[in-house]
Structure 1
């Protein structure tokens, strides 16, 4: 045993035939690192791993016994370092380090005896870590995203990635390539997994960490759409982080075409906000009952957190089914939305219920409009218009077939009755005009007849009077003739 210790000591301090081969190994903090060492020796050869200024990390004697440095032992008695393949013949003496820490970074040396020669191989372990300051920022404050490498490499480059995509800072038109830290104003855009990719002289490494931004977590960003059907209820979400208690929470409805607070109007009368008794303070969602088309529009919730004013804007889209008469005794059903910009396709399904109340769904056709035969009145059931977007099902609107047909039939009946009444009224008015004209002509003829009779009577009286006046004159003339 004494001879083996002397051999080990000789391996540590003898550098006459050592060969120095320096390389870089990158490892993420709290991960596992493997330091390579091609020893090309038998399983019985002594091997020793050391770290600069910290002494022995791990060693194996010729007998196969293993020893660990005191700095590498955990309180549980388990070792963080080891050589999994050192007991095998194959030339692999790589050192594995579990739970890598920043202080593990530095210069490592692997020494082994190959025949009569003492071989030394050295390498540098660089530990990468991503951190945030403050660790969990509130939206609106400045946050620093830092990438540290221990020990720091010379001439290395760094690239930042956010959620598996290149990060473009708000103050620069292109991705960062040489900055070890990012200074930004915390917002939902920065939330997610940050990755720092470091390229050294002979190797590359990366480290990631998740950044959580406290504030309004649902909806996660402005412009979210909430879909609901006419007559149904809808919830406009406004959920803050669980540890936040927003001050002065408020809701507004934005007037169409306006962006300023002065253009806000009050919420619909059917709305009701969450009360503190039933909802936690961080949930400021508002509920709308029995929606109408006029409820559609842009809404905004707001609150003050740690002196910062936070707000989130969303759009309520209301859907309904329009019904109209179509040729060949059919009814046309059309799916209408106040904003269909996100809709990529429509699907009509028929929902029926059997005697036991079981619900059966039957897909009918694709498209925004559907024609339904009046014979469907006997079958009953409901027609459902489902509308989809890029992220899947957006919503649906349901209408009973019977009620739709009754509505159209009732409208047609009212229109027919109105036409009949209008025709009868026009006919009666025409008859009244004819009767009035006939009566007027009769009166005119009667008046003319009266005038003719009166003229005849006056003319007869005038003739009689003239005859009486001429009669005495004739009698006087005859008497004078007799006297002569």
Structure 2
């Protein structure tokens, strides 16, 4: 092959005409490759143009009469994979376009332009870049290889990898035939290596690239272990566990891990409000769960697991619970201090307190008050008897929030509002007791007065008593007769 190129070069050197530069072309498999062939001649007379590949014959040919011919391997079922746009001929551009290039298309091509004794020939080397991933859809934990091949391989070329548009440095790098045919990256299939892999090849000032996507079969949500989920006391929270689309998991299990079991997790007891999602309300590859009413002690690590194609997959997540603690009201200043408490503050960078109000149309308005973990408010001010929200932020934005209703808690936190209630109850009780005592004294007085009126006439009482005895005596005498 090399000998043929040299012979062609010697022949051209003895012929009259212009010479075109030999060019390297790098193209991705499946894309369109453009093989350049440009000449400086300004003649508009028709040329005899022949594109050929090495020793495999003609690729495309156009005679001065305008007739075109295609090689048998480039013309299948009436479809041409190659073309040479005629509208560029007037500018001296006879570049060949190859659609849907394949690895076997790599090699040396020549463009020969002839008009009379004037001959111009351009030699182009086409290299096809291809990225292959095996297996293309790996189960989490499996070994996966990503291979970059260039056909024919350019000796001395530089190969670099990017993953999701970011440079990737493989942990282990291996080559076949000392780097002459491909580059291979071998990694364990995790969410860290899933996505779009791109092989960038640089050779003699030319750059080419090819890409392929590594799809993961496993738990895609949460995307990584130890993902933190934030929730407030009393609210509901979802514990996500979603597998890749089309996966059919078996034996799904949810567990809460005991504290202090980082390296050897020990399952504990799930909260009472824990509820697995209903199978009828989700896809087969979703095994998410929820807590209907979060308590402060529900914080901690949770784990979901399932089996896919005989391999057990797990994902750990951490639930961080937030609440607002209030201090007692100061008797002198009539103030209340609210403090935002979280079970884990490792990701928290800032706190913000906002006051929430609602108008007659139930429209919400929010007013930012101050930054910081604690807030002191005046309980005597009517405008402070509203809904207070503590927002907590991380490096990438807001993490969550927790709400405190001052108007619902005022009976417990404000001395001013609690004393009147207690005094009223005491007054009502004393009033009832006094009324009962008055009724008893009135009845005792009436009885005393009745007895006193009778004892004022003792002679009358003796006469009435004697007359009564005589009547009883006469009645008994008549009865004996």
Place the TM-score, normalised by the shorter chain, in its bin.
0.7 to 0.9
Q: Paired residue for 2:90, among 76, 88, 91?
A: 88
Single out whichever of 93-102 and 145-154 deviates more from structure 2. Answer: 93-102
1:370 equivalent in structure 2: 375
In the alignment, the residues of structure 2 paired with residue 160 and residue 74 of structure 1 have an alpha-carbon distance, to the nearest angstrom, of 36
Residues 312 and 410 (structure 1), Cα distance of their counterparts in 2 relative to 1, 3 Å cut: farther
Single out whichever of 118-127 and 137-146 deviates more from structure 2. Answer: 137-146
Alignment of 1:329-368 (within 5 A): 329-368=334-373
What is the CA distance between 1:198 and its match in structure 2?
2.1
What is the CA distance between 1:115 and its match in structure 2?
7.9
What is the CA distance between 1:172 and its match in structure 2?
6.7
Report the aligned-residue RMSD: 3.2
Q: Do the aligned residues in 2 keep the contact of 1:141 with 1:186 (CA within 8 Å)? A: yes
Single out whichever of 53-62 and 399-408 deviates more from structure 2. Answer: 53-62
1:320 equivalent in structure 2: 323
1:397 equivalent in structure 2: 402
Q: TM-score, normalised by structure 2?
A: 0.75
Is there any run of 5+ residues in structure 1 with no aligned partner, and where? 1-10, 418-484
Is there any run of 5+ residues in structure 2 with no aligned partner, and where? 1-7, 423-481
In the alignment, the residues of structure 2 paired with residue 367 and residue 257 of structure 1 have an alpha-carbon distance, to the nearest angstrom, of 30
What is the CA distance between 1:334 and its match in structure 2?
2.0
What is the CA distance between 1:116 and its match in structure 2?
4.0
Structure showing greater Rg: 1
**1:234 and 2:204 equivalent?**
no
Alignment of 1:39-438 (within 5 A): 39-41=39-41, 42-46=43-47, 47-62=49-64, 68-73=70-75, 80-83=82-85, 86-89=88-91, 91-113=92-114, 116-171=117-172, 178=179, 180-201=183-204, 203-261=206-264, 263-324=266-327, 325=329, 328-377=333-382, 380-409=385-414
In the alignment, the residues of structure 2 paired with residue 218 and residue 138 of structure 1 have an alpha-carbon distance, to the nearest angstrom, of 15
Cα displacement string for residues 284-337 of structure 1 (whole angstroms, at most 9, x for unaligned residues): 111112111111111111122222221111111111112223673222222221
Q: Do the aligned residues in 1 keep the contact of 2:81 with 2:98 (CA within 8 Å)? A: no
Residues 51 and 43 (structure 1), Cα distance of their counterparts in 2 relative to 1, 3 Å cut: farther
Residues 303 and 376 (structure 1), Cα distance of their counterparts in 2 relative to 1, 3 Å cut: farther
In the alignment, the residues of structure 2 paired with residue 61 and residue 407 of structure 1 have an alpha-carbon distance, to the nearest angstrom, of 100
1:450 equivalent in structure 2: none
Q: Do the aligned residues in 2 keep the contact of 1:45 with 1:113 (CA within 8 Å)? A: no
In the alignment, the residues of structure 2 paired with residue 102 and residue 30 of structure 1 have an alpha-carbon distance, to the nearest angstrom, of 9
Q: Do the aligned residues in 1 keep the contact of 2:133 with 2:145 (CA within 8 Å)? A: yes
Q: Do the aligned residues in 2 keep the contact of 1:44 with 1:64 (CA within 8 Å)? A: no
Aligned length: 402
SS at match of 1:213: strand
Single out whichever of 132-141 and 37-46 deviates more from structure 2. Answer: 37-46
In the alignment, the residues of structure 2 paired with residue 169 and residue 279 of structure 1 have an alpha-carbon distance, to the nearest angstrom, of 38
What is the CA distance between 1:75 and its match in structure 2?
5.8
Cα displacement string for residues 318-368 of structure 1 (whole angstroms, at most 9, x for unaligned residues): 111122236732222222211111122222222221111222222333322
In the alignment, the residues of structure 1 paired with residue 77 and residue 361 of structure 2 have an alpha-carbon distance, to the nearest angstrom, of 66
SS at match of 1:264: coil
Cα displacement string for residues 73-117 of structure 1 (whole angstroms, at most 9, x for unaligned residues): 57685755333752333x333323333332322211112247842
2:29 equivalent in structure 1: 29
In the alignment, the residues of structure 1 paired with residue 145 and residue 189 of structure 2 have an alpha-carbon distance, to the nearest angstrom, of 9
What is the CA distance between 1:156 and its match in structure 2?
3.0
Q: Do the aligned residues in 2 keep the contact of 1:44 with 1:63 (CA within 8 Å)? A: no
In the alignment, the residues of structure 1 paired with residue 173 and residue 97 of structure 2 have an alpha-carbon distance, to the nearest angstrom, of 41
